[in-house]
Amino acid sequence: MKNTSSVIYEPKGRALEYAPLACNPWIGCVHGCRYCYGPSAFHVARENWNPPKLKANFLERFEKAAEELRNDPREILFSFATDPCGTPAQAELMHDVLMVAEVYGLRLTILTKNPIAARNLIPILAQNRWKLGTTICFVSDSLRSEWEPGAPTISERIDGIEIARSMGVEMWVSVEPVVNFADGLAAVRLARDAADFVKVGKWNHDARAKAIDWKEFHRQAAEILGDKPHLFKRDLLVAAGIGAGENE
């Protein structure tokens, strides 16, 4: 396999379960999620995480990286540490990114809490059979507003999923992190009905996660998902006592 540049990188640890390559065009995010690990990972004060800042000369650097990775079969995730479509301006930049990726024959998947903002990307996503994902950790919008105060509502995210799927884009939902047992299960049920694929991960970087019965959560979530294509992340499986390598 070809090497990657500094703007397209190989994630390590639990992040590698989502994609073999990743790219974060922005430092920071507009959503203000209380569970976000980004500020600590990038050594940025939480109060300075919004507004997000585009990395210097990003498009030029991305095109150079894309040329180096021409026709690489590995999927690139946008993004782990930011929302690449958090605002309309960010979604506009992503359109330019996707056009570059198309030229060089790359494979992409986008994860955003704002799939409505990504609607202008849908034609190029569909044309290249690239995927679009959204995060749904809650069904209760009161919990959503508590934990994700700057993010779109859950109903807006469902609307975005429906629009994308109606136009031929494969949609996946990330139910991660699960910070509330009952609402996390409700989110798994909602994701099962709304999307093509579901990924479920536990709450990390917070001692309060120890209060959740992960074994029982996994049991009920697996029952809900049934034969729906899905992935339980390894950290959840380990917390449930299942082991590091088994999955549904």
Is the CB of residue 80 less than 8 Å from the CB of residue 27?
no
Lowest mean pLDDT among 13-22, 175-184, 239-248: 239-248
Q: Is the pLDDT of residue 34 over 80?
A: yes
User: pTM value?
Assistant: 0.92
**pLDDT band, very low/low/confident/very high, at 245 (cuts 50, 70, 90):** very low
Task: Give the phi and the psi of residue 157 in degrees, each rounded to 5.
Answer: -70, -40
| pLDDT band at residue 2 under the 50/70/90 scheme | low
In-domain check, residue 208 = yes
Is 177 a domain residue? yes
Calculated CA dihedral for residues 215, 232, 199, 185, nearest 10 degrees:
-10
Q: How many domains does the chain have?
A: 1
DSSP 63: H
Identify the pLDDT of residue 181: 98
- 125 vs 4, higher pLDDT: 125
Task: Provide the pLDDT for residue 3.
Answer: 52
Residues whose CB falls within 8 Å of the CB of residue 217, separated by 6 or more in sequence, listed in order: 178, 181, 184, 185, 236, 240
pLDDT attached to residue 17:
82
CA dist 85 and 77 (Å) reads: 13
Residue range 168-172: mean pLDDT, rounded: 97
Q: Please check whether residue 189 is in contact with residue 224, taking contact to mean a CB–CB distance below 8 angstroms.
A: yes
178-207 average pLDDT score? 96
What's the mean pLDDT in 38-61?
94
Q: What is the pLDDT of residue 132?
A: 97
Query: What's the CA gap between 175 and 85, in Å, rounded?
Result: 18
**Chain centroid offset of residue 104 CA:** 23
Which pairing describes strands 53-54 and 26-27: parallel, antiparallel, or unpaired?
antiparallel
Domain carrying residue 208: 13-239
Is residue 247 situated within a structural domain?
A: no
d(C-alpha 169, C-alpha 186), whole Å: 24
CATH assignment at residue 73: 3.20.20.70
Is pLDDT at 247 greater than 80 in this prediction? no
Check if the beta carbon of residue 177 is closer than 8 Å to that of residue 204. Answer: yes
111 lies in some domain? yes
Question: Structure tokens of 207?
Answer: 């001692």
Is 244 part of a structural domain of the chain? Answer: no
Q: What is the C-alpha separation between 26 and 204, in angstroms, rounded?
A: 23
**Which residue intervals of the chain are DSSP H helices?**
38-41, 58-68, 88-103, 122-128, 141-147, 154-166, 181-194, 214-225, 234-239
Residue 1 placed within a domain: no
**pLDDT over 70 at 14, yes or no:** no
Q: Is residue 100 part of a domain?
A: yes
Residue 246 lies in a domain: no
